[in-house]
Chains A and B, each alone.
Chain A
Amino acid sequence: MNQQDFLVCRCEEVTYNELMETASRNGCTARELKLRTRAGMGYCGGRTCRPLVQQITKKLEQAPHTRVTLKYQPPVRPISFGVLGGGEE
């Protein structure tokens, strides 16, 4: 049965088919898949789709046991530029 397409990364509007095709065409690591499609790079910082992007590349990548495949970077919560720059809210 055909898999109907659906959104995976809601912030950047990246779909399932787009992710699967990109991954199989390029043999991506999780990081490369993220950079190519922008899945996980939107406003929420990948708080929902991060595990999904990792799941897609899991078999290809042989998930390294000792480091997190998709790097976490501050800020880990959405914050205003004012807060980030140390200025007034």
Chain B
Amino acid sequence: MTEQDALFDYCLRIGDSSLIIGHRLSEWCGHGPILEEDIAIINVSLDLVGQARSVLDYAGKIEGKGRSEDDLAYLRDVAFYRNHLICEQPNGDYGRTIVRQFLFDSFHYLFLNELVNSKDDFFSGYAEKSLKEVIYHMQHSTKWMLRMGDGTEESHRRVQEPLNDLWRFTGEFFAVNEVDKILISNGIAVDLNKIKPKWKQYVREIIEDATLTLPTNDWEQLGGKEGRHTEHLGFILAEMQFLPRAYPDATW
């Protein structure tokens, strides 16, 4: 794998994760539990899709084959997507969405917090800009974890269950492959091992404050970074890519 290949792959990992989880959040539009949350969740979705656009645009430039952000978003099939598996998991009820978001946001924040030091100018600038948004995402999902965990019996149950379910996808945040190795050596990528203890500590604290129980099953479901996805991504792409695929000659 060349450094260019690695860099391209790394862009996809970052961009696809934001795009897919942002897309999932957008499914809530008009169906949120209360108007204020509709607005808040659309905001997060908007930020993430916006971030995805800028990384995918950069990915296209790195690749050098003239592919645009839209070519990459709309004309790649499942096996070529590099997002974390957690991002493609279904929304479920608002509790499940919040748990998924909390686990992702807390990682995302710590990740970008390191990426600001990247020797790649695009990444450092991108991280700095995105961080300003992601800090709000993390505050929002953390606040709801506390409210739901330490709210009513029902709400407690409605976050504990998805927490147990989704926990298996969190190991992937820190899974290192060939891409990381190449890019860490030249100061471009984040050393995931460095942020792992910080993430564990933050998540443990919030889970405790929320009177929830840390899942004990540490089995790690991996694959997203290599393009081996869960069954859900195919359906997301079928819906998302429908128009550009059905009308290949059209621009929108």
Real binding pair:
no
Residues of B within 8 A of A (CB): none
